[in-house]
Amino acid sequence: METTPLIPTAPVTDFATLRRAAADEFAPSTTYLNTAFAGLLPRRTVDAVTGLARANAEGGPLGAGDLEVVDSARAGYARLVGVGADRVAVGSAVAVHVGLIAASLPTGSEVLCPEGDFSSVVAPFAHRGDLRVRYAPLTGLPDAVRPTTALVALSAVQSSDGRVADLAAVRAAATAHGARVLLDTTQAAGWLPLDAGECDYTVAGGFKFLLCPRGASFLTVTEEAQDSLTPVFAGWVAGADTENSTYGPVERLASSARRFDTPPAFLSYYGAERSLALLAEIGPDALYAHATGLAARFRAGLARLGHDTVPGDSAIVAAPGLGGRRAELDRAGISVSDRAGNLRAAFHLYNTEADVDRALDVIG
């Protein structure tokens, strides 16, 4: 079974190449406009997961999985978000990464979050019990940062309606008041070009726009912020020498962000390595133009039909009050979501203008 770390080719520079890549890797049986719920798995990803599952069934020497593949996925994610692989920790869920950060804050610390943000970003702070958690409207978040704020925690793109946060303003306000920033990029990484090094911490679930199997997630930590975290979930994979960290207390943790790793789900990471390689081949700029272009077409079409949408340039489109049409669209073979009363559609590599027009026809 192939375990050689993947090196990305040059990114796609034209949409014809992007469309060929989509045709080679995906064959959806529906009009799938629901990546904000879960992304489709590329063929190469399915092959990798199937290969490891078969090795598990046969009892081969690599049946349990290889950490080199996990490290290759780590490096692929690092390239995508613009940081070194030594700044990336791997895990299984965003809430666990956020829980690590929440557990590391001193008692009484003030955490500022947007109103209505995704629960995985908010709940670990709210339920610790000895932190002061405040909320503000997303657009007013920069003005809500104050000298007592220790951490601003927010999503780069809102799950409920696709709004993109003004990250530059949030970072500037946090810096001015000495606060750190935690950014959840689950609804952004993959289609929205990001520099994770601009925030103290970022987290991302891999199963949406990163097209990874569920069970792969990523945490980035700047060098300056690494000492702020207590490795409360440390196990053998967090050891500097993993081969000799399997019994008793881990003698020495990794000096990189790997000391915040939790044991990886190997099936998920064998797939994640391949999905992240595909995204590297496409390139975030090409995917951004493709996805947001389709989203703009959908917004314009809804406007012609007399339906308002949440404004913006996001790859996620939300139409307030239309969430109840989800079942009708589902019966027509069109997959979307109903979130907070919004009809939510999201666009990715495998979507086309024909997908947009078909959804509009049913809505109209």
Domain stops at, among 280, 312, 329: 280
Together in a domain, 139 and 178:
yes
CATH code for the domain of 225: 3.40.640.10
Domain assignment of residue 337, given as a range: 284-363
If one counts the domains in the chain, the total is 2
- CB half-sphere exposure, 176, CA atoms < 13 A: 11
Q: How confident is the model at residue 64 (pLDDT cuts 50, 70, 90)?
A: confident
Classify residue 256: in a domain, yes or no.
yes
Please tell me the predicted confidence (pLDDT) of residue 10: 44
pLDDT tens-digit profile of 199-249? 999 999 999 999 999 999 999 999 999 999 999 998 989 899 888 888 888
Same domain flag for 111 and 190: yes
Does 209 share its domain with 321?
no
196 and 328: one domain? no
83 and 216 share one domain: yes
Residue 9 has pLDDT above 70, yes or no: no
Q: Which domain CATH number covers 311?
A: 3.90.1150.10
Instruction: Quote the pLDDT of residue 63.
Output: 64
| Highest mean pLDDT pick, 3-12, 34-43, 232-241 | 34-43
Q: Give me the pLDDT at residue 21, please.
A: 84
Same domain, 253 and 323: no
Question: Is the per-residue pLDDT at 62 higher than 70?
Answer: no
Q: Helical H runs in the chain? A: 15-25, 43-58, 67-81, 94-104, 119-126, 141-144, 167-176, 266-282, 284-304, 326-331, 353-363
Task: Examine the fold and report which residue of 234, 259, 280 is the final residue of a domain before the chain moves on.
Answer: 280
Confidence of residue 332 (pLDDT cuts 50, 70, 90): very high
The helix (H) or strand (E) run that includes residue 317 is strand 316-320
User: How far is residue 123's CA from residue 200's CA, in Å, rounded to a whole number?
Assistant: 19
DSSP 194-249: --GGGSSEEEEETTSTT-PPTT-EEEEE-TTTGGG---TT--GGGBSSGGG-SSSS
264-278 tens-digit pLDDT: 999 999 999 999 999
b vs e for 156-191, b when ≥16 Cβ sit within 10 Å of the residue's Cβ? bbbbbbbbbbebeebbebbeeeebbbbbbbbbbbbb
Mean pLDDT of the chain: 92
* Amino acid 18: pLDDT: 84
Express each pLDDT in 154-196 by its tens digit. Answer: 999 999 999 999 999 999 999 999 999 999 999 999 999 999 9
Confirm whether 6 is domain-assigned: no
Judgement on whether residues 291 and 276 belong to the same structural domain of the protein? no
- Residues 239, 315, single domain; the answer is no
Looking at the structure, do residues 155 and 199 belong to the same domain, yes or no? yes
Q: How far apart are CA 300 and CA 285, in angstroms?
A: 22
Confirm whether 97 is domain-assigned: yes
Q: What is the mean pLDDT of residues 254-259?
A: 94
Last residue within a domain, chosen from 252, 280, 308: 280
89-108: string of b/e by CB count within 10 Å (b at 16+)?
A: bbbbbbbbbbbbbbebbeee
Q: Please give the average per-residue pLDDT across 90-114, as a whole number.
A: 97
341 pLDDT exceeds 70? yes
Do the domain assignments include residue 254? Answer: yes
Question: Does 42 reside within a domain?
Answer: no
At what angle are helices 284-304 and 266-282 packed, to 10 degrees? 80
